[in-house]
Amino acid sequence: MSFLKKSPWIIHYDGSSCNGCDIEVLACLTPVYDVERLGIINTGNPKHADIFLVTGSVNEQNKEVIQNIYNQMPSPKVVVAVGICACSGGIFAECYNVSGGVDKIIPVDVYVPGCAARPESIIDGVAKSLAILEAKQKKLKSMEDGLEKMEIMMASISDAPEILALQKLAYQSEAEIYNDFSLRPLTQTLAEMKEDFQSKVFLKAVINDTIVGSVRAYMEGDSCHIKRLIVNPIYQNLGIGKKLMAEIENHFSSAKRFEVFTGNKSKRNIYFYHKLGFKEFKCEKVSEKRDRLYFEKIIEVKHD
Amino acid sequence: MKILILAFVYLFGAPLLGGLISGLDRKITARLQGRVGPPVWQPFFDVLKLMEKENLVVRRSQNFYIAFFLVLIIFTGGLFFTGEDILLVIFALTLAGIFFVLGGYKTSSPYSFIGAQRELLQMMSYEPAVILAAVGMYMVTKSFYVADIFFFDKPLYLYLPGILISFIFILAIKFRKSPFDLSMSHHAHQELVKGITTEFSGKTLGLIEIAHWYENAFILGFVYLFFASNALLAVIATLGIYFFVIVVDSVFARAKWQMTLVTSWAIALIFGLGNIIILHFFKG
């Protein structure tokens, strides 16, 4: 059995609301409602939290804050949008600086409507989110257990949305290294991705029907260009990337030369490619923030 | 053989006792505030849940320090409950604390940084009272061994009332209770987010919690020593003192570090050292 249900710890964040919902969240902690009897604690630290309660709409100022808090929470985690502003933007939805509900920024699991949401309905929302939390934990567990059952296969164009979502997740750490969120992989649209499918070969690593990694490549003359090796952050350092690389090299076994590139500050990628036998041969300036390092691996033809 | 059994009982009994006591603590605190409060086994649920969570780290080495913290806390309690030298127990406790502080420093978060500094100040604050307690016990029983002190036939608290007072005073620090829960607390004081434990999550946070249970069991054992000549009185007094600490915790806000340091040193010097000086002249 899972103990997540027995001890959900909460972090609450108030976006641009009137504070009404926020006060109601705090009212849940008072002797009248006393959520601690259900094991719920208001932690105030994202790294200790399981449930993220957001009140108020998202605006240009707090976008990054919400994203940051969400990223810092250890999984499994759920998000509960409390109050109509957090659900959809409410009466502020049309404001020039308001992006709308919380689901514009991070995935929301439970919506608690109301203006302001009553403490009873907030507690109800949290209780509902517990079931989702448990389901997420089960999924994570089954994915972990399924690592041996991982399969690598060709991806089809119907996988494009899932691979795109994974790509945006996997490139977060890169964007943070260079403090540049305009990286191409992060801004790619679904249409562009589908175009990619016409010109490149896509491989996907699948665990229990979920794509956890992908890589793409194309031939140009004798050399094979490998692009965008992505692995779900949870499954990094488990050898999935290495298997994907081996598989794609296998696929283009006619190639005399393989080429990849990565940013100059991405130490882990550089280490990874070195380990796979790639050597640097070129450095190119892309922008003020980063240089691009090119790696190559030349396949020696055996003379027997 | 006897020591082995003792150690074994301690290894499994202490976290159970410590966890149950901290569950009772949360229940009593809730009742003092007019709330229903969580079930008594809530701390166990919390730790079991933390074991299921992802372990996010800033640096992997931070978890290594916490593992050492836990091992050394277990070692401290082990020495204590098998009746070894009380001075060695105190040194092991300090070393364990230092590893906790190093873990806090390792994460490079400003919050855990200040938390770690406060943890050091707290250690400085409680150390005199603990050392004086050991010295006082030695003066009465003529032995530093916990076993000898435990089986001493006269009531220690009658000889060492001042030392007992200074020890009760620093209990708030050791149990991480208000007003001296500067480095971290289990309550909603969020001025430092979660202080020294800010950057620990998942399993490692669970280990910190388990270490805290062992520590609780050890400290209550230390309080027990003052009353050890009469087992019934000792249990009642130990639980009574723990209840007193909980009440104080519910009443007070968090103090500043200056106040923590000055008051705990002043009380240790006036009551603790005063007690020893008087003891010296009367027993001399």
pLDDT tier at B183 (50, 70, 90 boundaries)?
Answer: confident
Q: Is A250 on the interface with B (CB under 8 A)?
A: no
Q: CB under 8 Å to A205, separation ≥6 — which residues?
A: A150, A151, A152, A211, A212, A213, A214, A231, A240, A243, A244
Any CB–CB contact under 8 A between B31 and chain A?
A: no
Alpha carbon of B80: minimum distance to chain A alpha carbons (Å): 32
B240, B243, B247, B252: CA torsion to nearest 10:
100
Q: Give the model confidence (pLDDT) of A201-240 as tens digits.
A: 888 888 877 888 888 888 888 888 888 888 888 777 778 8
Domains identified in chain A and CATH numbers: 9-142 (3.40.50.12280), 150-298 (3.40.630.30)
pLDDT at B190 over 80: no
pLDDT at A301 exceeding the cut of 80 = no
Query: What confidence score (pLDDT) does residue A1 get?
Result: 59
- Residue B59, chain A, CB below 8 Å: the answer is no
Q: Which of the residue ranges A94-98, A192-196, A265-269, B54-58 has the most confident prediction, judged by mean pLDDT?
A: A94-98
Query: For position B237, what pLDDT does the model report?
Result: 94
Across the interface, whether the CB atoms of A7 and B26 are under 8 A apart is answered: no
- Lowest pLDDT segment from A205-209, A293-297, B186-190: B186-190
Percentage of residues in chain A having pLDDT higher than 70: 98
pLDDT tens-digit series, residues A32-83? 888 888 888 888 889 999 999 999 889 888 888 998 899 889 888 999 999 9
Sort strands A210-220 and A223-231 into parallel, antiparallel or unpaired: antiparallel
The arithmetic mean of pLDDT across residues A138-155, rounded, is 79
pLDDT one-digit tens code per residue, B208-230: 999 999 999 999 999 999 998 88
Among the partner residues B33, B35, B205, nearest to A48 by beta-carbon distance = B205
Interchain CB distance below 8 Å, A72 and B54: no
Q: What is the pLDDT of residue A29?
A: 84
Residue B76 pLDDT grade (very low, low, confident, very high; cuts 50, 70, 90) = very high
Q: What band does B165 get if pLDDT is binned at 50, 70 and 90?
A: very high
Cβ atoms of A13 and A48 closer than 8 Å: no
pLDDT number for residue B171: 92
* ipTM rounded to 2 decimals: 0.84
**Interchain pair B205, A234: CB under 8 A:** no
Provide the pairing of β-strand A201-207 with A210-220: antiparallel
E strand or H helix that includes residue A154: strand A151-154
B163 token code pair: 């030392």
